Amino acid sequence: MREYDPSDWYWFVLENETIYSSKRGTAISPDDQQYVSFLQSGNLATVCATFDDLVGVQRRNNCPPYHRVAKSTVISRLGKIKSEQAFALASIDQQLRWNAPDKPMVNSDDQETLEIIRLVGGDPNEVLAPEV
């Protein structure tokens, strides 16, 4: 058996009976060789009722692709001009959410953030990449 590592683990999602590899960030087949080896080593896939539950687990563990990025990192990666443009494009509600002091992080799959990054010519994969 190996030690639990949420960034390199297998999950069985009950709602659609799929197996998800967090290391590869995708669903896999039950006969996938790496998964078979995982099972043969005495490990078991962790069961999640829904894919949303799995996303929640991955986000709490800050595991791609469902990780969080500090808003200060997003601003730094966009640069001064693009950050100012992004803020100007955001609605009042978006600006209020962005400036909420109790929410210093943004989800990497946040649709509003992705849209604004694209509108100012930023690359969401770079801007919202996991922090090292």
List pLDDT tens digits, range 26-84. 899 999 999 999 999 999 999 999 999 999 999 999 998 889 999 999 999 999 999 99
Residue 107 near residue 68, CB atoms below 8 Å: yes
Q: Return d(Cα 54, Cα 59) in angstroms, integer.
A: 8
Q: Can the peptide bond before residue 6 be classed as cis, meaning omega within 30 degrees of 0?
A: no
Nearest in space to 131 (alpha carbons), one of 110, 103, 108, 112? 108
Q: Return d(Cα 74, Cα 107) in angstroms, integer.
A: 11
Predicted model pTM: 0.73
Q: What single-letter DSSP state applies at residue 66?
A: S
